[in-house]
Structure 1
Amino acid sequence: MTTHVQILDHGRIRELRLARPPANALDPALCRALIAALDAAVAGDADAVVLSGAPGMFSAGLDVPHLMSLGEDRHALRAAWGAFFGAARALAGLRIPVVAAITGHAPAGGCVLSLCCDYRVMARSTDPAKPYALGMNETQVGLAVPDGAQQLMRRVVGRHRAERLLVAGSMVAAEEALRIGLVDELAGVDDVVPRAILWLQDLLRLPRAPMLQTRALARADLVQALDPEHLHLDRFVDGWYEADTQAGLRALMAKLGK
């Protein structure tokens, strides 16, 4: 167990379970712990990785209360966003296959992390009236989505549909996410991780070197999208302090406090 990331081995497939209650909000400590756990998985000769969360909540995205607590400290704010995108790059650039076991809701940064994985298995809610959902809902709280993150969405659902989802800040229910290709498979909450492992086991039966070489070529655009030059974090930090953004974030903070 590392801080905020629980490690469970299923043979040579390593599960990294985000473990920062109550919502797996992504603060710098969790992001650094995830990077370290991914590095350790590769160094320990794991053949593949499953990234999972808590039942009902994969990850609520960036820890907004933490970010708001930084006040006018632009350096700390930039570092916090840099830590998050560092974790996303570590997933995207992992040299072994990685599956997102989306165990519940995955807004904003949670959705970004899932899109950095090879395959996405999402949980069905036990209450059809309250389905789990994922999406980049940043505009709902006054944040712009960096181009690099937008490219992740375009990569899986196409340019036009990505534009509609991103501009509106839409959260997509699980069944619709499957229909449009935002996730690859749905399963019961208790079956999400086993299904992720099964997909990886099938993949790992292929001749290893050709599979990994082909995978690296196929995912080169994903890695490139998360290059710092496509994220423009300085511009993003400037936008954080705009009046509309701050108003949206304060409204979100009030909602979280209820």
Structure 2
Amino acid sequence: MNQAAPHRVASCVDTIDHGGIVELRLARAPVNALDPALCNGLRAALDDAIASGAQGVVLSGGPKVFSAGLDVPYLLSLGDDRHALMAAWEAFFDAAMALAAAPVPVVAAIGGHAPAGGCVLALCCDYRVMARSDEPERPFRIGLNETQVGLVAPEGIQRLLRRVVGPYRAERLLVAGEMLDSGQALHVGLVDEQVALDEVGARAREWLAQLLALPRAAMLRTRAIARAEVIEALQPQHIQLDRFIEAWYAADTQDALRAMMAKLGK
């Protein structure tokens, strides 16, 4: 595969060929909020890259924001349409599963903030390279901040976090809904590397290239065994979307979500 300019093979996702390594760049301005179109587009772009012979994949986002998580204004606009709300969440978890179950290594190149759903997508990747902000007083942050908006992270998502930071650390972060800056995230193992913003993509590709230089069959088989728990975490019995949807409509959750939207709108 020869390196080429970015092109779009799916809605809101740009594909960039780096010669065996394919970069999938979330491209839904302004903050890559995860609506069904973006989630379905990511899954389609990943399928296309693998079918076209990608040996490894880099998942990247926009500068300053990797992904702001689920598109809360869109979800709130659905009102009492539970079918549409369920479809939106299913699209997100389908995209997460596609990353988790990818037959080739996937690296998250996190060039900015990655709260909630953005963090989940990163946790589904094999490796996470995160940018150091050029403005120390405004660091990039990553984490599962669901409790801050009245939501409960499903057991499967909690498993993903426990896998990388350990059970007690995960408990503290999840209960508080804490967002870590990139340096703190590196310290606790939520991300694997912290580099300058303009080096994130290159470092992600470099790590992949080193992995791909290993004997392929042994590397891929070992990877599949090691990552089986990632796929298991996203099985329906560990997500329980029906229960999550019921909780979404709870009065205190709706109040917290709308308060968050009002704050963001100021």
- Does residue 49 in structure 1 map to residue 61 in structure 2? no
2:189 corresponds to which residue?
181
- Does residue 107 in structure 1 map to residue 89 in structure 2? no
- Out of 148, 156, 162, the residue aligned to residue 154 of structure 1 is 162
2:97 corresponds to which residue?
89
Q: Cα offset for 1:228?
A: 1.1
1:139 corresponds to which residue?
147
Give deviations 1:87-135, integer Å, cap 9, x for gaps. 0000000000000000100000000000000000000000111110100
Structure 1: where are the runs of 5+ without partners? none
Q: Cα offset for 1:137?
A: 0.3
Alpha-carbon distance in 2 for matches of 1:121, 1:244: 36
- Out of 240, 244, 261, the residue aligned to residue 232 of structure 1 is 240
Alpha-carbon distance in 1 for matches of 2:15, 2:30: 18
Give the partner amino acid of 1:4: C
Q: Cα offset for 1:41?
A: 0.9
Q: Secondary structure at the match of 1:72?
A: coil
Give the partner amino acid of 1:93: A
Alpha-carbon distance in 1 for matches of 2:235, 2:52: 26
Q: Secondary structure at the match of 1:187?
A: strand
Q: Cα offset for 1:75?
A: 1.0
2:21 corresponds to which residue?
13
RMSD, aligned α-carbons? 0.6
2:36 corresponds to which residue?
28
Alpha-carbon distance in 1 for matches of 2:63, 2:132: 11
Q: Cα offset for 1:230?
A: 0.7
1:67 corresponds to which residue?
75
Q: Secondary structure at the match of 1:14?
A: strand
- Out of 206, 211, 225, the residue aligned to residue 217 of structure 1 is 225
1:208 corresponds to which residue?
216
Q: Secondary structure at the match of 1:35?
A: helix
Alpha-carbon distance in 2 for matches of 1:29, 1:235: 24
- Does residue 254 in structure 1 map to residue 262 in structure 2? yes
Q: Secondary structure at the match of 2:108?
A: strand
Give deviations 1:171-228, integer Å, cap 9, x for gaps. 0010010011000001111100000000000000000011000000000000000011
Q: Cα offset for 1:234?
A: 0.3
TM-score (norm 1): 0.99
Alpha-carbon distance in 2 for matches of 1:158, 1:257: 36
1:79 corresponds to which residue?
87
Aligned length: 258
Alpha-carbon distance in 1 for matches of 2:243, 2:11: 31
Give the partner amino acid of 1:10: H
- Does residue 242 in structure 1 map to residue 262 in structure 2? no
Q: Cα offset for 1:255?
A: 1.7
Alpha-carbon distance in 1 for matches of 2:141, 2:158: 18
1:37 corresponds to which residue?
45
Give the partner amino acid of 1:245: T
1:120 corresponds to which residue?
128
1:192 corresponds to which residue?
200
Give the partner amino acid of 1:226: L
